[in-house]
Amino acid sequence: MQHTTEEILHQIYLFSSFSMDELAKIAEKTKYKVLEQGDAVYQEGNDAKAFYVVMYGTLKILTSTEKGDDVNVTTIATGDHFGEFPFLDQGKRAGTVEAMERCELLEIPFDHLQHILDADKELALKFYKGITNYLVKRMRLLTHDLAYARELKKRYS
């Protein structure tokens, strides 16, 4: 069964409180992208112009060490979104994202999203509440992971 872009976006918790009319505004300039295994969505250090929703597939986020080694930061899959940080801080890409298998993505251009949020303050509030909840969950998970890593280091040092 084929879903509309609006239906796909509505399934992502970031947009779950949006009405179909609100999602239609975002979907207007959202692009469908297909990646094959090994394809990069973007590279660490690139300028950022969009963020992405994973419709199908698995991707890995990598970052480079000072020695040039790639470190797998996390794996993301169907239903996740990524690449939103530069929308919030106008920074460069902090990592490289590569497809681990054939992937289908929705690409949401930053300038389009910003225009929509600037024009509708209630919609902006919904969006920023959603992204704040997402970031808090990620921060809690990171805090847990760091505490666990410190405990392991103590045990085996």
Query: What digits encode the pLDDT tens for the residues 52-100?
Result: 999 999 999 998 888 877 888 889 999 899 999 899 999 999 999 999 9
* For the chain, counts of helices (H) and of strands (E): 5, 8
Question: For the segment 105-126, what is each residue's pLDDT rounded down to a tens digit?
Answer: 999 999 999 999 999 999 999 9
Q: Tokens at residue 67, please?
A: 């020695």
The 3-state secondary structure of 60-83 reads: EEEEECCCCCEEEEEEEECCCEEC
- Confidence bin at 37 (pLDDT 50/70/90): very high
Q: How far is Cα 146 from Cα 92, in angstroms, rounded to an integer?
A: 25
Q: CA 91, 38, 80, 5 torsion: positive or negative?
A: positive
Does 5-156 carry CATH code 2.60.120.10?
yes
- Confidence bin at 154 (pLDDT 50/70/90): confident
- Confidence bin at 1 (pLDDT 50/70/90): low
